[in-house]
């Protein structure tokens, strides 16, 4: 039976982890490679890096991080943030990323998704959708949630599937950072609309939220950042909890 | 000993390289090349493959003499070869992704789209699934039945002769996820992404 996945996400800025696990025995708590290794040793089904480096001159730092991580972690590694072109994707994959997640660039020009999935295969193209509720609809936001594209999130999700996306990473901008749980209504609406797997993101504050993301949101995988930081919960605890709620996980 | 990962522009093979280097350490020489002479003198070959069946077969054919060299290695000389994902699928006679395309024809059968029962199951089949080992294989030595492996695919290999099937996985139906025919081995899942248990399979292959 296929298992639901738990994906811890690390925000990386200028090659350093912004938040993270604050374990005393870490040699370098800011090193994304060490943190990723802790997650994968703890049973993370995949690892996700979100590069939030703002300045262009420091953008190359992520390549070094990916290169070093992929030599130590042998679970799938997804990298997102600031990906603009086929060339950016190519570079990340060559450094050892298994998938890339494309956000703003896909909204600006959906051909990026079409071309990259043809060139590299759908299996490595994740389209990240940042959505915000407006009335009874959701709209797609870009640039880390700053700009409203006005595009309907459900239609956009369908279009990205048709363009060759292998998975959708859906983040509710209303919930992101709130720790009050995923927008399961949004997740469920998109998951029912498309045939590709959905990764739920944004708003996790406790382990029950992960359960809701899968049971109510119909997500194939759940992504979370802060609940795994500072040792609040380990990936192992999360999996055991999901297992106790009858959700199939890899233990 | 020299193990060669065949680099024929089949998509992203960094993870395959990293995992083999991790397992081989300094004991075994891992080479990544499309050079025919280097392939011929290898002891073992790894045939990765990402993207579509057609794109991988096209990429193989683009390199002059590569298919013949692979045939000589695996069929005539019977040296060990491991196909991963589309690398395994290409063992078949024919594949139906994008358009009907001939495979290497090493293990009789076809590669067709997983029947997801009218959308009841998501495709691609992405994530960790358990394998059901149906036949003893050297590459599954010390691998427990029902171990989890990492999968990413929408197409499945359907061999004509069921005796080549080493393991299956349950998604929509029983999908063939590993085959063995004499010196030819294949996994539909990605051992290079299947954590320690996946690395053990790679180790088993290297130690054949």
CATH of the domain at B116: 3.40.50.880
- Would you call B85 a catalytic residue per the annotation? yes
| Strand (E) or helix (H) holding B62 | helix B53-62
pLDDT digits (tens, 9 = 90+) for B58-98: 999 999 999 999 999 999 999 999 999 999 999 999 999 98
pLDDT of amino acid B51? 87
Is the per-residue pLDDT at B45 higher than 90? yes
> Using CA atoms, how far apart are residues A49 and A96, in angstroms rounded to an integer?
12
B100 tagged catalytic: no
- Annotated catalytic residue: which of A31, A130, A176, A183? A130
What pLDDT does residue A180 have?
Answer: 95
Q: Across the interface, do B152 and A220 touch by the CB < 8 Å criterion?
A: no
Closest to A207 measured CA to CA, from A251, A169, A174, A245: A245
Instruction: Say what the pLDDT of residue A208 is.
Output: 98
Which of A46, A63, A72, A74 to probe by mutation at the B interface, max B CB count within 10 Å? A74
Smallest CA–CA distance, residue A165 to chain B, in Å, is: 10
Main-chain dihedrals φ then ψ at residue A12, nearest 5 degrees: -120, 130
What is this structure's pTM? 0.96
ipTM: 0.95
Residue B41 lies in domain: 2-206
Report the pLDDT value the prediction gives residue B10, as an integer from 0 to 100.
82
> Per residue in B127-165, pLDDT tens?
999 999 999 999 999 999 999 999 999 999 999 999 999
pLDDT in the model for residue A194 = 97
- Nearest C-alpha of chain B: how many angstroms from A94? 6
Burial environment of residue A25 by CB neighbours within 10 A (0 to 12, 13 to 18, 19 or more): exposed
Q: What is the pLDDT of residues A181-210, one digit of tens each?
A: 999 999 999 999 999 999 999 999 999 999
**What is residue A231's predicted lDDT score, i.e. its pLDDT?**
76
A16-66 pLDDT, tens per residue? 988 655 555 556 668 899 999 999 999 999 999 999 887 777 888 999 999
Query: How many CB atoms sit inside 10 A of residue B84's CB?
Result: 28
3-state secondary structure of B174: strand
Structural domains in chain B (count): 1
């Amino acid at each position: 039976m296929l298992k639901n996945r738990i994906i811890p996400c690390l925000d990386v800025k200028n090659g350093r982890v912004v938040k993270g696990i604050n374990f005393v025995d870490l040699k370098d708590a800011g090193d994304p490679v060490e943190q990723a290794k802790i997650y994968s040793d703890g049973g993370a089904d995949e690892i996700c890096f979100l590069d939030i480096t703002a300045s262009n001159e420091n953008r190359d730092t992520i390549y070094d991080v990916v290169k070093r991580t992929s030599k130590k972690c042998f679970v799938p590694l997804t990298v997102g943030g600031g990906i603009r072109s086929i060339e950016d994707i190519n570079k990340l994959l060559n450094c050892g990323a298994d998938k890339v997640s494309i956000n703003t660039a896909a909204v600006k020009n959906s051909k990026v998704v079409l071309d990259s999935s043809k060139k590299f295969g759908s299996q490595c193209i994740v389209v990240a959708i940042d959505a915000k509720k407006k009335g009874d609809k959701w709209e797609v936001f870009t640039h880390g949630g700053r700009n409203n594209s006005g595009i309907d999130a459900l239609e956009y999700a369908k279009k990205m599937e048709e363009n060759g996306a292998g998975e959708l990473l859906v983040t509710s901008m209303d919930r992101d950072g709130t720790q009050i749980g995923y927008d399961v209504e949004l997740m469920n609406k998109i998951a029912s609309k498309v045939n590709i797997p959905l990764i739920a993101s944004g708003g996790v504050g406790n382990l029950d939220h992960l359960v809701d993301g899968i049971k109510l949101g119909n997500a194939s995988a759940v992504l979370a950042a802060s609940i795994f930081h500072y040792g609040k919960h380990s990936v192992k605890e999360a999996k055991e909890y999901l297992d106790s709620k009858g959700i199939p996980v890899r233990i | 000993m020299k193990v060669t990962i065949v680099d024929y522009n089949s998509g992203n093979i960094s993870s395959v390289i990293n995992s083999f280097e991790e397992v081989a350490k300094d004991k075994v020489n891992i080479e990544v090349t499309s050079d025919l002479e280097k392939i011929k003198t290898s002891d073992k070959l790894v045939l990765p493959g990402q993207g579509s069946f057609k794109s991988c077969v096209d990429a193989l054919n683009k390199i002059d003499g590569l298919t013949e060299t692979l045939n000589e290695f695996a069929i005539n000389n019977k040296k060990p070869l491991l196909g991963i994902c589309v690398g395994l699928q290409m063992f078949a006679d024919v594949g139906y992704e994008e358009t009907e395309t001939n495979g290497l024809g090493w293990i009789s059968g076809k590669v067709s789209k997983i029947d997801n029962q009218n959308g009841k199951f998501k495709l691609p089949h992405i994530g960790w699934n358990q394998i059901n080992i149906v036949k003893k294989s050297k590459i599954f030595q010390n691998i427990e039945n029902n171990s989890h492996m990492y999968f990413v695919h929408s197409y499945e290999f359907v061999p004509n002769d069921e005796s080549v099937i080493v393991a299956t996985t349950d998604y929509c139906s029983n999908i063939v996820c590993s085959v063995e025919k004499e010196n030819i081995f294949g996994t539909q899942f990605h051992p290079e992404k299947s954590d320690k248990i996946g690395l053990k399979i790679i180790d088993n292959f290297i130690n054949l």
